[in-house]
Amino acid sequence: MEKIAATDGVRMPLTSLSHDEQILRDSVRKFAQNKIAPLVREMDEAQKVHPSLLPQMFEMGILGMETPEQYGGFSGSFLESILVVEEISAVDPAIGVLVDVQNTLTVNALLRWGSEEQKAKYLPRTNTDTICSYALSEAGSGSDAFSLKAHARPDGDAYVLNGRKLWISNAAEAGLFIVFATVDPSAGYKGITAFIIERDTPGFQVGKKEDKLGIRASSTCELLLDDCRLPATSVLGFPGKGYKIAIETLNEGRIGIAAQMLGLAQGAWNHAARYSQERQQFGKSIATFQAVQFTLAEMATEIEAARLMVYNAARMRDAGLNFVKEAAMAKYFVSTVAERVASQAVEIFGGYGFVKDYPVEKLYRDAKIGKIYEGTSNMQLATISKLLLTG
């Protein structure tokens, strides 16, 4: 598979793709349009992923994009995983975020921090039949991500976990969880440790599923830890290094969320452009009116700028460059663009855009979460300003 050269040239934000990247993009786009699109409304109303989709996505390899072939994965680049999230999200951002959490957060953390034994045990499963979930957030630790109350008490050669996690994506479907808890509260963030927990572990339970505004097919649940006993071999990385694991994976995850919002914006534009040529008013299509033309042009320009930022951040990550600022900029900007473009798409549809018979109503609801999860827009601005002012 042709890879992008790791040179200083990756700093140039290009949307051109290699031949292999184009093939991957087109394959995922076809799958999303043919297999996911007919189920979008049903999944949104049922608030769950259709059971037919997960086996197909495992079969395609898009739930193990960066996993090496030795573990049964695709051995793709980070950019390729971003392309997958973008194309699926253009059809359904709820399925897009399921794929994103699997690749950019959980599997990524296992690849970087897992022991050889942990990789050999879990990665073949995450590529074939096991959805993963990433559990950091709690009731009192949203933007203040490391003020955790979940506690892991050392007990001989094991740890006993107690606490509660909230707003955990993929939790309803997941068979494997990366859960963050503090081993030593007096050490602050340096006491935080990441644990690998299998779903059927005694003392571990998936709790209430949230009834959300948007991305409703994507499950968001609480996790309950009640004297959950784990062997020391369940620690991911090293005790006290959970904060570092979280920071590194969330920096990459922000590019994934930006890709989700990019796909959403492109999907909303596609629907609006198509409808504008079908809708007749005053004896002609509304696409012939300059106001509609200018709105579509502005939407398309913002989407293209967003795509440049997302691809550039992904390529910098693939090249081993520092991409933290670019990831924060992409997440902040693209989530703003997605919300605005989805809103404009609803307006182009007029009254039809406000009802569930047409897809832009759902995309508008889905867009709101982009400014909230994996770092609010205000937190992205804080990160950007800090990095700019410190050089």
Residue with tokens 């997960």: 54
- By three-state DSSP, how is residue 195 classified? strand
- pLDDT score, position 9: 36
Residue 292 pLDDT grade (very low, low, confident, very high; cuts 50, 70, 90): very high
Q: What is the DSSP letter of 210?
A: P
Of residues 343 and 143, the one with the higher pLDDT is: 343
Is 53 a domain residue?
yes
Domain that residue 24 falls in: 8-130
Share of the chain above pLDDT 70, in %: 96
pTM of the predicted model, to two decimals?
0.95
Is 276 a domain residue?
yes
Domain identity same for 211 and 188:
yes
Domain identity same for 295 and 363:
yes
CA pair distance 267, 274, nearest whole angstrom: 11
CA 233 from chain center: how many Å?
A: 28
The residue out of 130, 152, 172 marking a domain boundary is 130
**Spatial contact of 348 and 312, defined as CB atoms under 8 Å apart:** no
Is 3 a domain residue?
no
Domain identity same for 350 and 382:
yes
Domain identity same for 119 and 143:
no
Is 2 a domain residue?
no
pLDDT(6) > 50: no
Is 251 a domain residue?
yes
The residue out of 82, 97, 130 marking a domain boundary is 130
Specify the CATH number for the domain of residue 20: 1.10.540.10
Cβ neighbours of residue 346 closer than 8 Å, sequence gap 6 or more: 353, 354, 360, 361, 364
pLDDT(57) > 90: yes
Residue 16 pLDDT grade (very low, low, confident, very high; cuts 50, 70, 90): confident
Q: What is the DSSP letter of 26?
A: H
Q: What is the DSSP letter of 214?
A: S
The total domain count for the chain is 3
Domain identity same for 224 and 269:
no
**Spatial contact of 310 and 255, defined as CB atoms under 8 Å apart:** yes
Specify the CATH number for the domain of residue 171: 2.40.110.10
Mean pLDDT of 54-60: 97
In the residue annotation, 45 being an active-site residue is answered as no
Domain identity same for 286 and 187:
no
pLDDT(1) > 80: no
Residue 3 pLDDT grade (very low, low, confident, very high; cuts 50, 70, 90): very low
CA pair distance 256, 103, nearest whole angstrom: 9
Residues forming beta bridges with residue 135, ordered by sequence position: 179
Domain identity same for 79 and 144:
no
The DSSP-derived string for 61-111 is TTTSSSS-GGGT-----HHHHHHHHHHHHTT-HHHHHHHHIIIIIIIHHHH
Domain identity same for 254 and 356:
yes
Domain identity same for 257 and 364:
yes
Residue 12 pLDDT grade (very low, low, confident, very high; cuts 50, 70, 90): very low
pLDDT(182) > 50: yes
pLDDT(11) > 70: no
Residues forming beta bridges with residue 133, ordered by sequence position: 177
Quick one: CA dihedral 270, 271, 273, 277, positive or negative? positive
Domain identity same for 63 and 14:
yes
Domain identity same for 180 and 143:
yes
pLDDT(4) > 70: no
Domain identity same for 204 and 231:
yes
Specify the CATH number for the domain of residue 274: 1.20.140.10
* Pairing between β-strand 192-198 and β-strand 235-236 as defined by DSSP bridges: antiparallel
- pLDDT score, position 146: 86
pLDDT in tens, 230-287: 999 999 999 999 999 999 999 999 999 999 999 999 999 999 999 999 999 999 999 9
Q: Which residues of 363-388 are buried (b: 16+ CB within 10 A; e: fewer)?
A: bbbbbbbbbebbbbbebbeebbeeee
Mean pLDDT of 314-322: 97
Mean pLDDT of 38-57: 98
The residue out of 224, 242, 260 marking a domain boundary is 242
- pLDDT score, position 14: 53
Mean pLDDT of 43-56: 98
pLDDT in tens, 114-135: 999 999 999 999 999 999 999 9
pLDDT(169) > 90: yes
